[in-house]
Amino acid sequence: MAGVGFRRWAQTLTKGRGVGISALLSGARAASGASKGSLPGPYPTTPAERAAAAKKYNLRVEDYEPYPDNGQGFGDYPKLPDRSQHERDPWYQWDHPDLRRNWGEPMHWNFDMYIRNRVDTSPTPVSWNSMCKQLFGFIGFMLFMFYIGEVFPAYQPVVSPAQERSDELFM
Amino acid sequence: MADYKEAPLATRPRTLDPNDYFNLSQEKRRADEERAALRANLKRQYLTQLNNPSRTELIEDPALTRWVYARANPFPHFRPTFKTSLLGIVFGVVPLVTLYYIFKTDRDRKEAQIKAGTRDRKFNLAY
């Protein structure tokens, strides 16, 4: 009985029948719920481990590429392409339409970053060079014009010397 | 559009992607079919559970469980290497130490000024 968890105790005792108690004593448990080998594990070293990991994550063996083993804590989690959910087909019948994801599909490590409210990696309508030129051109132009405005000020209020003297008293 | 350069980290539009036009082969077709078979299997499992009239509980997604578990348990696979130690130092130790020194010297300077009587302390919370 040492290997039996408290939860199974509670479940079998509440059943109240003989079958429950004998199941408890033999250590048998239901086949539902997550099985032992379905959770992420350490980095796969042999080809057999790689095949098992690919099967676990529902990927083809050729598609399965774990993160490099650099000690950063990834284990055998697959390295999926860094694509946001914005790029997925909006017209396909996804199981979870707002996440654009099917049930059982392997999730990207940074899935919560790539949801449709957040980072978007979809192609930009304008090319990168054009965007850079437009943005920095505008900012540069405005900075330059403000600088000119500092050097050559215009539309300063014209005040007579008498009014300037009377203004000073209330400073 | 011939000189379209995509943003760093963004993707190229599919119509400008040369792989779609030149890299089509039997192997690619077979690979796509295998992926579709995996997808169809998962879809079948999900729809069986979804449309089961006697189902009362939520449909558990093992991929989600695996993702949550992997994100919450990186430590068993952590190894101190040059890169991880450098990251730890840069993000953990350096801000702490620099901020301590900055605040300490600033506060000491202000305290010295107050003691010498050179600091302008005219701020009043209530008159």
A144-153: average pLDDT: 93
Residue window 95-124, chain B: list those with CB within 8 Å of chain A: none
**pLDDT given for residue A6 in this prediction:** 61
pLDDT in tens, A79-113: 999 999 999 999 999 999 999 999 999 999 999 99
The HSE-up count of residue B7 (CA atoms within 13 Å, CB side) is 12
Contacts with B13 from chain A: Cβ below 8 Å: 123
Regarding pTM above 0.80, the answer is: no
- Reported as a single tens digit per residue, the pLDDT across A13-70 is 665 554 556 655 666 666 666 777 889 999 999 999 999 999 999 999 999 999 999 9
Are B66 and A122 within 8 A, CB to CB?
A: no
d(CA B31, CA B29): 5
Q: Measured between alpha carbons, how far is residue B65 from residues A47, A107, A157, B48, B105 in Å? A: 25, 10, 69, 20, 49
What distance in Å separates residue B22's CA from the closest CA in chain A?
20
Number of cross-chain residue pairs from A and B with Cβ atoms under 8 Å apart = 121
